[in-house]
Amino acid sequence: MNPQPILLRKDQERRLLAGHCWIYSNEIDTKATPLKQLEPGQAVDILSNRERWLGHGYANPHSLICARLVSRSPEQHLTPALWLQRIRDALALRERLYERPYYRLVFGESDGLPGLIVDRYGDLLSVQITTAGMERVRAELLAALEQVLRPRAIVLRNDTAVRALEGLEQRVEIALGEPADTLVLDEGGLAFEVAPLSGQKTGWFFDQAENRQRLARYGVGERVLDVCSYVGAWSLRAAHLGARQVTTVDASASALERVAANAARNGLADRIRPLQGDAFEVLRELRDQGARFDTVILDPPAFIKRRKDEKDGTQAYQRLNRLGLELLEPGGLLVTASCSFHMGRDGFQRTVQQAARKSARSLQLLELGQQGPDHPVHPAIPETAYLKTLFMRALPHF
């Protein structure tokens, strides 16, 4: 069946011509192409108001992002051959970057596969489908992944809330094999047990791996505070670099249990001090106790998940960083991150600076990190540059 054509309103193709691939519902000429005639995930041809062909894509009339452009070549339709080629291209990049098969294999729009995330844990693939268009061709995508990578197991981590915006069910499924609930991966010489079936996101946060390695350059001192630790990637790195005591804070008891297990696995158990609780409450308690740290690491979940959350989320980032800075020794290192793509790099840096002024501290920005190259940034899609990690020094006298 030929793709259904959809026409854009006048002058609404500029962003697409610049390289973006999202089309919002208010950009479509609904008189010429009524949205009600489209099915969720249906293949479409995207045309300008003057009927200039722009690309092949898929649509969802029930979503704010009403269509996504996937192919800009008239001959390259949304077929199994296209999925195979895009996955092979994605794999070629990662094999250039990494010696071992532990990385994000497919990063949505940046790899030409909007709505698809694939994390690779050796011979296990953790797959997340976030759009109706990709859900509609799920069998083709899984077949392509099997053909290219020959995995032992594939887990579908389709339990993300964003699927609800596309009218999709949220659930975890096993698509191939009989995977164990846990596995062990290596990051920079440290072994971590992770849970692709039940852990946060797909079980691990590959995006901060490069930034964690950068800790070695700056040194961490003897006392480190790691806030929103998950299973201890930052904590164990700090202990491995020589910290004598790492206070590890997370709201999840099961995450802290895994931190302890990972610390024992790496011979670092005596250096880890777990604290369960809300990050803001724990930081206030530590401040009131007079605790001080040589390095403070703040790596929270996204506080700004929707544009309307921007004001409250910005205030949350400012409060968290102010509390962290009040616990930091003069001359100490602050590593602070935001994974909210609605908060830009400049906005995050400004928010941290405002927190510094409110805590009567002066900062030096040493390095500005982003997600690793297995999460490549699409130059025309600023939403793909979501992670900001600031390495900052608190000036000792100012």
Q: Which sequence positions are flagged as catalytic? A: 339
How crowded is residue 349: how many other Cβ atoms within 10 Å of its Cβ? 18
In single-letter form, the type of residue at position 96 comes to R
SS3 359: coil
Distance CA 364, CA 54 (A): 46
List, in order, residues 6 or more apart from 27 with CB less than 8 Å away. Answer: 8, 9, 12, 66
* φ, ψ dihedrals at 281, nearest 5°: -70, -40
* φ, ψ dihedrals at 371, nearest 5°: -65, 155
> Between the CA atoms of 286, 288, 293 and 295, what dihedral angle is there, to the nearest 10 degrees?
70
**What residue spans of the chain are helical by DSSP H?**
14-17, 80-97, 132-136, 138-149, 209-218, 233-240, 253-265, 279-288, 310-326, 345-358
Q: Are 181 and 105 in contact (CB under 8 A)?
A: no
